[in-house]
Amino acid sequence: MKRNVLVLMVAFVLLSVSSTAFATLPECGGDCYGWSVGGSLIFGTPDYMDYEFTVELTQGATVVYSHFQEGSIHRDDADFVFFGEWGMELCGDYTMTIVFTIYGPWGTYTDSCTESFPCECGPPPTCTYTPGYWKNHIEAWPVEGLTVGCVYYTNAELLDIFDWPTEGDMTVILFHHLVAAKLNVLTGSDDYINDSIMAGDDFLCINLLGSSPEGNLKDDAEAIKDELCEYNELECEEEEEEDDMLSISAPKVKIDKAAATEESSWGAIKKKHN
């Protein structure tokens, strides 16, 4: 393990020659894999000294790892070292703090060391999933609902819309791919698509779901949909999911275009759909 070492020299005031003891405490280090702390005790009369120490790892103001240990160090193990692994993959900037206490015949001595280090983040997943995948894997959804086009939908409502027919209504097709892109980003896929997601939301805020825009508006919606579709189809090789949801036929949804500027809600949209 890579060691960035901070060494603190401590000379203890001796109570008597018979209880002579010197210590070098602590030698400590941390990196993206784990931590270590060690030192050297020179014993006089006592055969052992008690110790305790804590290790804390913080990211920002959040403690992400904490370890406490206590025991005794025998004179035969005067040169000691303790170490451990974080047990998780680190990503970002971290600060490690170790506080070490020795209980000796002269009394109690506490020392500490602090070390900060950055950890590179692994590449984000290169695969994403289509609307068909998310429709059939509700257990993988990381949220209880989403805001799409200025309207908040529960997961049940989103699944209901996934069953809506399209029949060329670009707002419904765009909606399906917009939801899939949002879920892909929320589960850790590359977020370079965020600009297209924002464009899709903006479009559906003005052109309500089911309004079947024509002309330039339809072309605008289709251009956004194409960007989202290309992103959503970067599927993992091991996932071969059918995406036949857009081929279902049913009566066309009609929503008054004049309502595009009115405040919208899931209840109102569903009522018009039904």
For residues 6-16, give the mean pLDDT: 32
Q: What's the confidence (pLDDT) of residue 12? A: 32
Rounded mean pLDDT, 262-269:
48
pTM across the whole model: 0.48
Angle between the N-to-C axes of helices 215-232 and 170-186, in degrees from 0 to 180, rounded to the nearest 10: 30
For residue 249, the model assigns a pLDDT of 33
Q: Where are the domains of the chain?
A: 6-119, 131-273
The CATH number that domain 6-119 falls under is: 2.60.40
Give me the chain's average pLDDT, please: 79
Mean pLDDT computed over 20-29: 63
**Predicted confidence (pLDDT) at residue 8 exceeds the cutoff of 80:** no
Q: Is the pLDDT of residue 273 over 90?
A: no
Which residue has 């081929």 as its token pair? 247
Q: How confident is the model at residue 86 (pLDDT cuts 50, 70, 90)?
A: very high
What is residue 24's predicted lDDT score, i.e. its pLDDT? 60
The pLDDT value given to residue 220: 96
Q: What is the mean pLDDT of residues 192-198?
A: 95
Q: Does 16 have pLDDT greater than 70?
A: no
Please check the confidence at residue 267 and state whether its pLDDT lies above 70: no
pLDDT, residue 257, reads: 33
More confident residue, 108 or 227: 227
pLDDT single digits (tens) 241-255:
444 444 333 333 333
Amino acid at 118: P
Q: Is the pLDDT of residue 181 over 90?
A: yes
pLDDT (0 to 100) of residue 78: 82
Higher pLDDT, 270 or 157: 157
Percent of the chain with pLDDT over 70: 74
What tens digit of pLDDT does each residue of 115-166 get?
999 998 876 666 899 999 999 999 999 889 999 999 999 999 999 999 998 7
Q: What is the pLDDT of residues 48-59, one digit of tens each?
A: 889 999 999 998
Dihedral sign, CA of 24, 25, 29, 34?
A: positive
